[in-house]
Structure 1
Amino acid sequence: MGFTAKFVHLTGFGLFVAVCVLCSCLILSAWEALTLDPSSSDLVGSSKENNSCKASEAELQNSDYGEVDEEDYGVDDEDEGSDYDFDESYFNQQLADKFDDLDLPPGVEATVPWLQKAVTNVEPENFKSMSEIEDEIGQKYKFFKQFDTVEDFSDHHYANKPVGKTGKEWTKRIQHDWKLLENDLPASIYVRVSENRMDLLRAAMIGPQGTPYHDGLFFFDAQFTDSYPATPPVVYYHSGGLRLNPNLYETGKVCLSLLGTWEGHGCEKWNSAQSTMLQVLISIQALVLNENPYFNEPGYETFANNTSGQRSALDYNDTTFQHSCRTMLYSLRRPPQHFEDLVAGHFRECGRAILAACKYYMEGNKVGSVVPSNDNEDKELENTSAEGSSSSGAGKTQNKKVDLRAGRTVTFKTNMEVLFEELLMEFNVKGADTKKFCVEKLKKSQPAAS
C-alpha cells in the first residue's frame, strides 16, 4: 500500500472516530441534562458547555422519532435508590418545556401527564364568564329551528339498521312528509331529519301543561322502513330505563294503534294513503302524554268514574312526575345529538317554573294542577332577605291550596326533595332563574337566631 492510500485510509478512519466521539458527547450531554439534580442552579439545557449539543425545537419537530420510551428520559426503577431527592413534578415540567411544540400523534397528549397543558397556561381571554355562557345558551335556543336537516345521526337508535333497497316513490313520499313537518309542526315539537340517511328522524316534544309531563322533554327516534308508506314507521322512545306511561315502555317500545304496535279500529290504524309522520308525533303528544295516563292501560278506563280508580290515577301521576324529573336530568346530562342547544335553552327558560311546581306538589297539591304565580312572593323575598325573615309563610297564605292531594305516600315528598336539589343544581348551570330557591335554601341552612 502506498503512502497516499495509507493517508486516505487513516483519514477515513479518523473521521469515523470523530463522528463516534461526537455522538457520544451528544448522548452523554442529553443524559446529564435530563438527570440533573433539581436543586442545582443549572437548569436543563442551560449549561454553556452543553449549548453545542442542545437540539433546537425545529430539529425536534423535523425528527423521525415517532415513539418515546421511558428509558430515553432517564426514568428507571433503579433510580429509586439514588442519593438525591427526585422531584417528579419539576422533572415533568422540564420535559414539557422541551416538547411544547413537538407535533405528536393525536391522543398522545391525553395519555402522557407531562405533556398536558396546565390550566394556568391558558390565556385569560380564552375563558368565558357565566353571563357569556348563559347568553350563548339563550341565543342558540332562540334560533333553534323546529325542523331542520342534519348530516347524520351517530347515536340514533336505528343508525346501525340499514333500510334496504328503496325507490323513487319511497323518496318522494318521505320528502312529502318532511314538507308537512316543516310547515305544520306544533310549537312544542322539534324534528331533525338526516340528509345522508333519509330513513332516519328524531323528534323532541315538550310535555303539555296540566299533565304530569308538563315542561319535560321527551325524545323519539323513528325510521321509515323500505316498505313505507305501505307500513308505518318504527318508533323508539328514549326512556332512560323508566316507564312513565303505559304506552311507553322501559325498552323504548311505543305502543300505539297508528304504529301497528297495538290493535285499533278505523282511523286509529295506519292508512298508507293518508297517515303521516306528523300524525304520529301529534298522536303521541296528545293521546299518550295526557292528563290521566293511568287510564291508557287497556281495560282501566272502566275505573275512571269510581273512587278507587281515581286514587290509583293520582298515585300514578305522582310516580310519573318523578320519572319525568329523572328524564329531565337524564337529558341534561346526556342530551341527544343535534338537540344539545334545545335541551340547554329549554331548561334555562323553564327551570324556574319546574322548580316552583316541585315545591307546590311537595306542599300537598295535585301533580298537574296550576301553580300560582309567585311574583308578589319574590318581591317580598327580596325586600326581607336582608332582615333574615322568610317570606315562604306569606307565600303559602297567598297560594291557596284549592287542589290538595289526599292519601299521598310519604315517599313522594322524600323523593321529590332529592330530585329538587339535583334539578336546582343542573338548572343553575344552564343559567335558569333560580335566585328565589337558592335564597330559600341558604336561609334554611342557616341556624335560627336565638
Structure 2
Amino acid sequence: MGPSATKKQLTLVESSSADDPEVVIGASSSSSFSSTYDRNKRQRSIDLNLHEDDEPDSAMMIIGENTIDYKNKKPAVYDRDWQSQAQEALSSDLMKSSTSSGSQTGAADDACKSLEPDAMDYTSYNSDECDYYDEDEDEYVYDTDMIDIDCSYNLAAKFDDLDLPPGVEATVPWLQKPVPEKASNHTPLEVEIDERFNSFKQFDTVEDYSDHHFAIAPKEGKKPPKEWMKKIQQEWKLLENDLPETIFVRVYEERMDLLRAVIIGPAGTPYHDGLFFFDFHFPTDYPYSPPRAHYHSGGLRLNPNLYACGKVCLSLLNTWSGSGCERWNPVKSTMLQVLVSIQALVLNEKPYFNEPGYERTAKSESGQKHALMYNENTFLYSCKTMLYSLRRPPKYFEDFVAGHFRKRGHTILVASRAYLDKVQIGSDLEKAQNANGGEGCSNNFKAELKKLFEDLLMEFTVKGADCKEFLCQKAKVGDATALPKPEGSTLEQ
C-alpha cells in the first residue's frame, strides 16, 4: 500500500456529504443496514475510486467498521512509514480543501479525528508485533499483558506533575522506583563461610569421635544400664531446647557417653569473643556420678580453674570442694548446668579471685592491682587460644570457628587497639572512650600484644573479617608501632 491509497481514502471521505446518508465514517455495518446492502455499497464505493492497475484489497480503508464476513483471515500487517506518509498527505489535502470550501470543514475534522490513535490502534503495530485474526472465532486476538502495561504507564503519567505527600508513592505500584541491587563485595570463599556458619546448629548429632579426648575411655567392666541410656537422651533433649546462644554442643550417635561443647567468652571479661572447647564423658553410673571434663588448653593456663593439662576444677564436677548446691546432685544436676556454670563462674570478669584464698583481697587496692595484671596475661592467652583454634579447629567445628572469627574479628582488633591505648582489659569500650585519660595497661603487655595483633590481623584477614582499616593503617605506617589511635579518636565496640 503506498501514497496512492492515501488519495483513494481522501476521495472517499470528500465524496460523502450530509445529502448522502449511505456513506458514514465509523458506522457499524451490522447495526443499521442489511449485509447485502452493505456489500453493494462497499463495492460501489470501491468502483468509484479504483484505478485500472489497483487491487480491490488496497483500494480503500473503512475506518471503525466492525467486520464479521471476512474469509481466509491472515495476520494484519501495517507499515509505520506508510502510516506517516499517509497522515502527512491527508493533512495537506484537507488543509487545501478547507480553505477552498468552507462546507467541507466538518468532513475534514471528522477525517482527522478518525486517524487519531484511538481510532487506528491497529496501525501502531509493525510486522513483528501484529495482531492475528482467530480463524475459529470472528474476533481479534490481543496481548492482554501489553494492554495492562500500557494502562499502568498512562496512569502513572497523570501523577508526574503532582506533589504527592510522603509515603504515597510506596502504596502505588506504578509510582515506585526500582531500587538497583547492590553488588556483593564478598568473595565466593567468604560467602561460603557465612552460609556454613549461619547454618551451624547449636545442637547436633555427629559420627566421628576420633579426636575426642575420651575416645579411648577407661574400661569400667560393665555395660551401662537402660536407665543410663534414658538419662543421656533426656540430657540431649534438654540441651537441644535450652542452650544459651553462646554455647554449642555436639554429641555422638555411636558413643552416647561422649559430648563436646564450645563456649564463647562473655563480653566485659578478658575472655570476650574467644572460643573455649571442652570434652565430656558420661560414666556408666551417670547421673550418680558427675561427667568427666577436659579443657582444650593448648598448653596455656588462662584461668585458676582451667589447668594447662586440661583439668577443669569445679565443685559441680566434684573436682573441688564444695557444699550444698555447689556439689553434684544426681536428682537435680544436669549437663546444661555444668556448661552454664563454666561460662558464668569460671570465665568471669576478674578470674584472679577464682584462686582459693584470693577472694579475701577483692576489696583491697593490692588485690585489684593483681587482678588487672592477671587480666592482661589472660587476654594474651585468650588471643593465643584464638590462633590455636583457627589453625587447628576441633572436628565438626571447623565451619563455626571460621565463621565466628570472620564475624567477630573486627571487634577483637578494635578492642586490642584500645588496650594498646589507655583502656584496661575487659572495659566497656564505649564508656572508656568518654573517660578523661587513664592508666591503661602495662608496657610489657602492650609489647606482647603488638606481636599478637599482627598474627590475629593475618588470620582474620584470611577468614574474610573486616580488617580494611587496620591493613590500610599498617600499609601507611609500615609497621605495628602506630596501631593505637591518636587521643580523641573514636573507638568502636
**8 Å contact from structure 2 (residues 423, 429) kept in 1:** no
Q: CA deviation at 1:411?
A: 1.3
Q: CA deviation at 1:405?
A: 3.6
Give structure 2 stretches of 5+ with no counterpart.
1-184, 480-493
| Structure 2 residue aligned with 1:425 | 458
Q: CA deviation at 1:167?
A: 1.1
| Structure 2 residue aligned with 1:399 | 433
Q: CA deviation at 1:445?
A: 1.4
Kindly indicate which of the two structures has a greater share of residues assigned to helix. Answer: 1
Q: Deviations along 1:218-245, whole A, 9 cap, x unmatched?
A: 0000000111100000000000000000
**8 Å contact from structure 1 (residues 149, 194) kept in 2:** yes
| Structure 2 residue aligned with 1:144 | 200
**8 Å contact from structure 2 (residues 196, 399) kept in 1:** yes
Supply the AA of the counterpart residue of 1:409: S
| Structure 2 residue aligned with 1:323 | 381
**8 Å contact from structure 2 (residues 315, 328) kept in 1:** yes
Aligned counterpart in structure 2 of residue 439 of structure 1, from 472, 481, 493: 472
Q: CA deviation at 1:185?
A: 0.2
Distance 2:381 2:188 in 1: 32
Distance 1:344 1:425 in 2: 13
Q: CA deviation at 1:438?
A: 0.6
- Classify the secondary structure of the residue corresponding to 1:372: helix
Residues 1-400 of structure 1: matches in 2 within 5 Å?
131-162=187-218, 164=220, 165-372=223-430, 399-400=433-434
- Classify the secondary structure of the residue corresponding to 1:201: strand
**8 Å contact from structure 1 (residues 148, 192) kept in 2:** yes
Runs of 4 or more above 4 Å deviation: none
Distance 1:399 1:255 in 2: 37
Between 1 and 2, higher relative CO (CA 8 Å, sep ≥ 6) is seen in 1
Q: CA deviation at 1:170?
A: 0.3
| Structure 1 residue aligned with 2:49 | none
**8 Å contact from structure 2 (residues 299, 309) kept in 1:** yes
Distance 2:436 2:282 in 1: 47
- Classify the secondary structure of the residue corresponding to 2:349: coil
Distance 1:186 1:276 in 2: 14
| Structure 1 residue aligned with 2:443 | 410
Q: CA deviation at 1:372?
A: 3.4
CA RMSD, aligned part only? Answer: 1.7
Distance 2:265 2:436 in 1: 23
Q: Deviations along 1:181-239, whole A, 9 cap, x unmatched?
A: 00000000000000000000000010000000000000000000111100000000000
- Classify the secondary structure of the residue corresponding to 2:187: helix
User: How does the TM-score come out when normalised to structure 2?
Assistant: 0.58
Give structure 1 stretches of 5+ with no counterpart.
1-128, 374-397
Q: CA deviation at 1:274?
A: 0.7
Q: Deviations along 1:244-285, whole A, 9 cap, x unmatched?
A: 000000000000000000000100000001100000000000
Supply the AA of the counterpart residue of 1:231: S
Distance 1:331 1:268 in 2: 31
Supply the AA of the counterpart residue of 2:287: P
Distance 1:353 1:371 in 2: 10
**8 Å contact from structure 1 (residues 163, 199) kept in 2:** no
Q: Deviations along 1:33-78, whole A, 9 cap, x unmatched?
A: xxxxxxxxxxxxxxxxxxxxxxxxxxxxxxxxxxxxxxxxxxxxxx
User: How does the TM-score come out when normalised to structure 1?
Assistant: 0.63
Supply the AA of the counterpart residue of 2:462: V
**8 Å contact from structure 2 (residues 224, 284) kept in 1:** yes
